[in-house]
Structures are given as structure tokens and as C-alpha cells.
């Protein structure tokens, strides 16, 4: 499952360089001019999880299959995009399909890399992007409301709810606030209906501060400004040097470890970005393990066992009987399933069981 993260930003902020590094591919042409990414590029990366190796060792698995994260690199945005400037709304459909949006902000000074607006100001960049997305949301909301009003007159309850949610969203967007802030006054029971409005500014936001190499570990004055602005809103802020990530992508594992140590870093920026994304979207991982393979699966925190089984195959959810469950720490420390059973750490859980992060599961289902 993993999650799908759209990467947006003004031209020449390091967006495509970061995409190339994260996916270890040259699929997106990184160049020092606007709109070098004309079509959205999609890349997948394995989600690093040290637990996989330990589970596989205990289960004596022949293969390890991590869960995957999808990045979508979307063409550089400019002021006026919602009115057709630059590439206009070409990118909007691709953003709507994403679970979260990573706003790549330029937090470095380099006279050799031009800025589309002639200055380094990450907050102004973020505001430009957000404004264009809000204008697109405003147009979408205003366009949909009349049709829903007609349905509401016919006692359509869903239409009435949708109108209420649209009015709340309109209030925020009209005030220059992203629609995701409206969730604070929307009942939890209506959160899914609100998400179904597919508003661009309602999607969870990650702010990626692309800093110079020397600031990769601690950040700099620009990234500090970004953190002060967006962390109070509940957004995730990640500090990354796209240049370092690009260099890391060319190294083998041993060289990568040495290079990170020389820079005073403990892990690549990709790991931090994935961790921030999982936290932002409230995602957790469970595992399946056996002689053939150990595999990671991503679900939302609070998912019940049948729905978790459905991530593997819809038939598993439909015919769910029970989940054979072992906690990660027990599975590893007791040498796998046999040891866990002997120690009384093997459990049979039913349909009401909420899967925990790290659970090692085997599902029983009826065909």
C-alpha cells in the first residue's frame, strides 16, 4: 500500500533533483530552467524498515519485500497558474490523486541557480503555491454548489451534508486559509465526506526545506522560518539537502554509510521524509512472514483486522475468520512463530481486533 506523495514547488527549487535522488533514477530531467518537468513523473521507492531483516531471520524467509512509497513529481508552479500562467492547471488532477503534498521550498543561496521570482524567500514561495491551490479549490467549490442545491431540495441528505461542508471550506479558502484547517470545526463523522470533496488544500502538507550541504543536519535561518510558520498548524517540516541526496543515490550501501558519517548525519533524507509522511497520515506497518518471504504492509492506524487483511487481497477481508497474531518484539526475541507459540505469545484475534504497528500476522479466511 504505502502512500502517494505529490512533490510541488516553484521552478528551480530543487524539486526534480530531489525526485531523482529519492527514486534513484533520472526519469525526471533536472535542469536550471522552468518547466523542465513537463509531464508528471512517478517513481516508487522501498520504505526502509530495519524490522524486516530481523523478522526474516527469525522466520528463515527466502525473500524480503518492503512496502512501497510513490512519489509524483509535478511540473513547476508559478504565480498565476490558476489563471493559465505557466502550465496552468495541467498538474491539478495529478495532485488530487495524492495522499499528501510535499511542498519543496528553496532554503539555500546559489547565484548559479536562478529563482523564477529573483529572490530566496521560502515563505513567499509557499504562499504562492498555496494561493494557486486555494484559487483552484475556490473555483471547484463554487462550480459544484448549484448542482448540489438542486439535489438538496429533493431531500437528498448527502447533498445537504456536502453543501454544509462546502460552505465551511469556502469560508476558510475565501479568507486565504487552506481547507485542511476547516477540519477543526467539522465533526469526525463527516471527515470522509469532506475528504471526498478532493480539495487540493485539504490534503495533509509536508514542507521540505531544501538546504545547502552544510545545513543538512541542523537546518539554517530559512528552514527555521519555515518551521516557525507551519509546525504550529500540525504540518510536518523536513530538512533535506537535495544535492546530498543526489550524491547518496550514486553510492553503494557501505559508501553511503561512510559519507553520511562524514557529514554528521545518521540517515538519508529519504528516511526522514518517509517517517514524516507516515506520521502525517497516521500510517503504521504490519508484517507477514514465512519460509517463502517476509513482507511489510502499510495501513492506517486504527484499522481493524479484516480491513488490514483486505490490503493483501479483497477476498481476505470478505471471508475473514481470524488473525493469528504475534507482536514484533516477541516474534524476534523468541525465534519466530514456533518459539512464540511455546511461550504463549501467539494469539487468535477476531474481527474487532485493531492491528498494532509491528504485528506479525497470518490471516485465516473462508473462500
E strand map for the chain: 4-8, 41-46, 63-65, 68-73, 100-107, 205-211, 236-240, 283-289, 293-300, 320-326, 347-349, 360-365
Which cell goes with 233? 498548524
Sheet containing strand 100-107, edge to edge, reads 41-46, 68-73, 4-8, 100-107, 205-211, 236-240
CA–CA distance from 65 to each of 124, 185, 361 (Å)? Answer: 41, 41, 15
Distance of CA 7 to the CA centre of its chain: 10
Radius of gyration, CA atoms only, the chain: 23
CA–CA distance from 346 to each of 256, 289, 320, 350 (Å)? Answer: 39, 14, 18, 14
305 φψ region: left (φ > 0), alpha (ψ -120 to 50), beta (else): alpha
For 254, other C-beta atoms within 10 Å of its C-beta total: 8
Three-class SS of residue 182? helix
Q: Which residues are annotated as a binding site?
A: 12-17
Sheet containing strand 63-65, edge to edge, reads 63-65, 293-300, 283-289, 360-365, 320-326, 347-349
Q: Which residues are bridge partners to 20 per DSSP?
A: none
CA–CA distance from 119 to each of 71, 114, 123, 178 (Å)? Answer: 27, 9, 11, 24
Q: Which residues are annotated as a binding site for ATP?
A: 12-17
**CA-based end-to-end distance of the chain:** 23
For 35, other C-beta atoms within 10 Å of its C-beta total: 14
Amino acid at each position: 500500500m504505502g502512500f502517494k506523495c505529490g512533490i510541488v514547488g516553484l521552478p528551480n527549487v530543487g524539486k526534480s533533483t530531489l525526485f531523482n535522488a529519492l527514486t534513484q533514477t533520472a526519469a525526471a530531467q533536472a535542469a536550471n530552467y522552468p518547466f523542465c518537468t513537463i509531464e508528471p513523473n512517478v517513481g516508487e521507492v522501498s520504505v526502509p524498515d530495519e524490522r524486516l531483516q530481523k523478522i526474516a531471520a527469525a522466520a528463515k524467509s527466502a525473500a524480503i519485500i518492503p512496502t512501497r512509497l510513490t512519489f509524483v513529481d509535478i511540473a513547476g508552479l508559478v504565480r498565476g497558474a490558476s489563471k493559465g500562467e505557466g502550465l496552468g492547471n495541467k498538474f491539478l488532477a495529478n495532485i488530487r490523486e495524492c495522499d499528501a503534498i510535499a511542498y519543496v521550498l528553496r532554503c539555500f543561496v546559489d547565484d548559479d541557480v536562478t529563482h523564477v521570482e529573483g529572490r530566496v524567500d521560502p515563505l513567499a514561495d509557499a504562499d504562492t503555491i498555496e494561493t494557486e491551490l486555494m484559487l483552484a479549490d475556490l473555483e471547484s467549490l463554487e462550480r459544484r454548489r448549484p448542482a448540489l442545491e438542486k439535489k438538496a431540495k429533493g431531500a437528498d441528505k448527502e447533498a445537504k451534508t456536502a453543501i454544509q461542508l462546502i460552505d465551511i471550506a469556502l469560508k476558510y479558502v475565501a479568507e486565504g486559509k487552506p481547507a485542511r484547517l476547516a477540519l477543526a470545526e467539522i465533526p469526525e463523522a463527516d471527515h470522509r465526506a469532506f475528504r471526498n470533496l478532493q480539495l487540493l488544500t485539504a490534503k495533509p502538507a509536508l514542507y521540505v526545506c531544501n538546504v545547502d550541504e552544510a545545513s543538512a543536519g541542523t537546518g539554517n535561518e530559512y528552514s527555521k522560518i519555515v518551521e516557525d510558520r507551519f509546525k504550529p498548524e500540525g504540518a510536518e517540516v523536513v530538512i533535506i539537502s537535495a544535492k546530498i541526496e543526489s550524491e547518496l543515490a550514486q553510492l553503494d550501501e557501505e559508501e553511503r554509510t561512510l559519507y553520511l558519517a562524514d557529514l554528521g548525519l545518521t540517515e538519508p533524507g529519504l528516511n526522514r521524509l518517509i517517517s514524516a509522511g507516515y506520521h502525517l497520515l497516521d500510517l503504521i506497518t504490519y508484517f507477514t512472514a514465512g519460509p517463502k518471504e517476509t513482507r511489510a504492509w502499510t495501513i492506517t492506524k486504527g484499522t481493524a483486522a479484516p480491513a488490514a487483511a483486505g490490503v493483501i487481497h479483497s477476498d481476505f477481508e470478505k471471508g475473514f475468520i481470524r488473525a493469528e497474531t504475534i507482536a514484533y518484539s516477541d516474534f524476534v526475541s523468541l525465534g519466530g512463530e514456533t518459539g512464540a507459540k511455546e511461550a504463549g505469545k501467539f494469539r487468535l484475534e477476531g474481527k474487532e481486533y485493531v492491528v498494532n504497528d509491528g504485528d506479525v500476522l497470518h490471516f485465516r479466511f473462508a473462500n
